[in-house]
Amino acid sequence: MPMIKIWLWSIASVVIVSLISLIGLSTFGIKTETLKKFLIYMLAFSAGALFGDAFIHLIPGIVKKQGSFGLFPSISLLSGIVLFFIVEKFIHWQHCHIPVSKEHIHPFTYMNLVGDGVHNFIDGLIIAGSYLVNLQIGIATTLAVVFHEIPKEMGVFGVLVHGGFSRGKALALNFLTALIAVSGTIIALLIGSEVADITTSILLPIAAGGFIYIAGADLIPELHKETASHSSPQVAASLLQLLAFVSGIGVMALLLLLE
């Protein structure tokens, strides 16, 4: 396929994928109070989806490409966790001197944007890399990413709103973060065949480590804050959170059918 067509197909595909980040528009017809009650379950779903993405897709992808999960991928995975710990510490230093309010956004929202941005960049690399092989693989990969993005972007939007952003700002930030995928696509097309080695060796482990950190260190503790007592309503809420959490993992597992 001529290079100009590869560029056109790749850019068009990644823009379509980025538009999925606007899925939060579907919540604009929902009353604020109703949305607030639902957000904690979106948070639980997002935590499950992040764990599922890391353990079901990203880490197995590293093992498949490299043949084994040796010391370097392990160090890269740990580096991702350490990197996101450092980023969160910096965000805390900058933003945690006053309580959460409309003027002050909870740090875990910024963490989620960083993690989502890294993941979107990788998606852009993968989409372009697949079109460099052939058109059929490019289209198939794009469809897989589309189905993968729908639950992820729902979760990201829920995290941003729960953390203090208005729906409008959450939607805009989610879309801008999604557009990072375009830069990944352009870089992949420029460097060509080397993109697979860079993605597998460095970016996938860092993204996996980041997702594990965000889900375990930020989102799950946030869920526990909402169900601190042992009253019957809180027990019911905990069970619903568990259902949403497992559903997030389950959706990521079902996406294996697309591979």
Nearest CA to 157 out of 172, 174, 180 is that of 174
pLDDT band of residue 172 (cuts 50, 70, 90) is very high
Return all residues near 234 (Cβ < 8 A) that are at least 6 apart.
Answer: 227, 228
State the average pLDDT for the chain. 80
Q: Distance between CA atoms of 46 and 252, rounded to whole angstroms? A: 11
What is the pLDDT at residue 100?
A: 47
Instruction: Give Cα 130 distance to the centre of its chain.
Output: 20
Is the pLDDT at 223 greater than 80? The verdict is yes
Average pLDDT over residues 88-109: 63
pLDDT band of residue 85 (cuts 50, 70, 90) is confident
Q: What is the pLDDT of residues 26-59, one digit of tens each?
A: 888 788 778 777 888 888 888 888 898 889 887 8
What is the pLDDT at residue 247?
A: 92
pLDDT band of residue 136 (cuts 50, 70, 90) is confident
Q: For the chain, what percent of residues have pLDDT higher than 90?
A: 17
Is the pLDDT at 98 greater than 60? The verdict is no
Nearest CA to 163 out of 221, 211, 231 is that of 221
Total residues found in the chain within this entry: 259
Do 211 and 49 contact (CB within 8 A), yes or no?
Answer: no
**pTM across the whole model:** 0.71
What is the pLDDT at residue 65?
A: 67
Q: For the chain, what percent of residues have pLDDT higher than 70?
A: 83
Q: Distance between CA atoms of 256 and 103, rounded to whole angstroms? A: 41
Most confident stretch, 14-28, 98-112, 129-143: 14-28
Do 26 and 223 contact (CB within 8 A), yes or no?
Answer: no
Question: E-assigned strands of the chain?
Answer: none
**Maximum C-alpha span of the chain:** 64
What is the pLDDT at residue 154?
A: 83
Most confident stretch, 58-67, 154-163, 170-179: 170-179
Q: Is 28 helix (H, G, I), strand (E, B) or coil?
A: coil
What is the pLDDT at residue 244?
A: 93
